[in-house]
Amino acid sequence: MELETLVIHADRSAEDDTDIAPALHPASTFRARSAGEFATLANAARPERYYTRYGNPTHARCERLLARLEGCEAALLFASGMGAISTAVLAQVAAGDHVVAQASHYMGTTRLLTDLLPRFGVGVTLVDQADAAAFARAIVPETRLIVVETPSNPVLLLTDLAAVARLARDRGITTLADNTFASPVNQRPREFGIDLVAHSATKYLGGHSDLVAGVVAGSTEAVERIWKTSIVLGATASPFDAWLLLRGLRTLPLRVERQSATALELARFLEGHPAVSRVHYPGLESHLQHDLARRQMKAFGGVLSFEVAGGYAAAQRLVGSLELAANAVSLGAVETLAVHAASVWEGSLGPEEIAQAGISPALVRLAVGLESAQDLKADLARALAAV
Ligand SMILES: *Cc1c(COP(=O)(O)O)cnc(C)c1O
């Protein structure tokens, strides 16, 4: 089945086959019909009707669809993207182990890797994601996990998924890809040999800025191991958010295709604008990794970033002058959002980390929504004229 069909049908199971819309199961706990059934449920892996931190029928329905979307055997839903990533990483490593990851990651992932893991005796090496050989050089005998994120936030650098997967497989190392920015519509890391795929479902998967959730997909065995850690760490999704996520997923392919087309149009417009000094978007021929983008992505996503010629103050003024694009963090939803990147990151990353992540003081990140491309272009043109 194509993705457009999967999102409509892949969550159905024999039990709920007559419900056209999914049922919402808010129950935190479920009654067993006999002592024997209770004992079975209490000791099962991933029971759907036992206690909601262990599993829930609405979660299960959503997880079936998410696994299919990423071409994986299984998926596990979480209360947030960070809940998913932290649990997946902590399920994988122990004191003495080593992790290879990127210099540029989502901020929470960077904090997990550089602050939390070292406190538990896990070594971490961060590498330039655009250099596949840098991953190979960073691997040591203790390396257990490679974490990648492509395109990365906020300068849209890419990681060669096939190259990293090949390196890891030869050495028995697990790979985890944060696929939030591309979404499974534009990129399916499993097809390149990546073991685990994580998302902030808060973004494209949900798509309406009304839920917070995360997901990890992979083999049944790997997801079961992560589930055992998840019932201890407890980043359990709300059943209502799982239900909203199912609703959002129905339109995922339509939304992402349109957002990607609009983002490409806006990137081209900004690249030709005299008040913009640089545009970062993998769909542009000027992107240093455009060939890789065409190899591993179907379209290039709804997020782009650009540098305003006037510097820090001009970038801040520009974001404040936009009328359609709201000045808010997050991405992947129906409404366009814009942020001045340095304002977001200067509170939690030091100046060196900001520079290492390639964040210029003049950088603006635009997360394109579903408004008309013409209207968004006019909004940008007016705001650029004002600065
Ligand atoms: C937002 C985001 C996260 C964190 O997800 P939450 O749902 O906010 O916890 C992780 N990775 C990427 C790439 C993100 O954009």
- pLDDT, tens digit (0-9, with 9 covering 90-100), for 203-214: 999 999 999 999
DSSP type of residue 113 = I
Q: What is the mean pLDDT of residues 129-136?
A: 97
pLDDT value at residue 13 = 85
Q: What are the start-end ranges of the E strands in the chain?
A: 74-78, 98-102, 123-127, 143-149, 174-178, 196-200, 214-218, 276-280, 303-308, 326-327, 337-340, 363-367
pLDDT of residue 45: 94
Question: Which pLDDT band, with edges at 50, 70 and 90, does 346 fall under?
Answer: confident
Ligand 1 atom nearest the C-alpha of 82 is 9
pLDDT > 90: percent of the chain: 92
In the chain, what are the domains?
3-249 (3.40.640.10), 252-386 (3.90.1150.10)
What angle in degrees, to the nearest 10, is found between the helix axes of 373-386 and 252-271? 40
Averaged pLDDT for residues 232-241: 98
pLDDT in tens, 27-60: 999 999 999 999 999 999 999 999 999 999 999 9
**Is-contact 318 306, C-beta < 8 A?**
no
Beta strands 174-178; 123-127: pairing state? unpaired
E strand spans, 314-355: 326-327, 337-340
Separation CA 385–CA 126 (nearest Å):
39
Structure-token pair, residue 372 = 């008309």
How far is the C-alpha of 118 from the C-alpha of 96, rounded, in Å?
10
Nearest CA among 75, 269, 287 for reference residue 184? 75
- The response to whether residue 358 sits with its C-beta less than 6 Å from ligand 1 reads no
What pLDDT, on a 0 to 100 scale, did the predictor assign at position 274? 96
Q: Which amino acid is at 362?
A: A
38 Cα to the center of ligand 1, angstroms: 37
**Per mean pLDDT, which range of 10-19, 118-127, 184-193, 204-213 is the poorest?**
10-19
Contacts of 171 (CB under 8 A, 6+ apart): 139, 143
Active-site annotation holds for 144: no
Question: Rounded CA gap, 76 and 197, in Å?
Answer: 11
The mean pLDDT value for 195-220 works out to: 98
Q: Average pLDDT, stretch 187-209?
A: 98
Calculate how far, in angstroms, residue 81's C-alpha sits from the geometric centre of ligand 1.
Answer: 5
Phi, psi of 80 (to 5 degrees): -165, 170
- Residues 248-293: pLDDT tens digits? 999 999 999 999 999 999 999 999 999 999 999 999 999 999 999 9
At 382, give phi and psi (nearest 5°).
-65, -45
What are 200's strand-pairing partners?
214
Query: What phi, psi does 197 have (nearest 5°)?
Result: -120, 125
With tokens 């849209």, the residue in question is 156
Task: Indicate the pLDDT class of residue 351, thresholds 50, 70 and 90.
Answer: confident
Q: Tell me the mean pLDDT in the region 167-193.
A: 97
pLDDT tens-digit map of 66-120: 999 999 999 999 999 999 999 999 999 999 999 999 999 999 999 999 999 999 9
Helix (H, G, I), strand (E, B) or coil at 267: helix
Q: Do the beta carbons of residue 85 and residue 108 sit within 8 Å?
A: yes
Identify the three-state secondary structure at position 255: helix
User: 204 CB under 6 A from ligand 1?
Assistant: no
Report the mean per-residue pLDDT for the chain.
96
Return the closest-CA partner of residue 127 out of 163, 92, 96, 181: 163
Residue with tokens 């798509």: 207
Predicted TM-score (pTM) above 0.95:
yes
Tell which atom from ligand 1 comes closest to the C-alpha of 201: 7
- Judge whether 281 counts as a catalytic residue: no
Q: Which of 106, 160, 188, 204 is catalytic?
A: 106
Spatial distance between the Cα atoms of 105 and 88, rounded to a whole number of angstroms: 16
Residues 387, 276 contacting (CB under 8 angstroms): no
Please give the pLDDT value at position 368.
Answer: 98
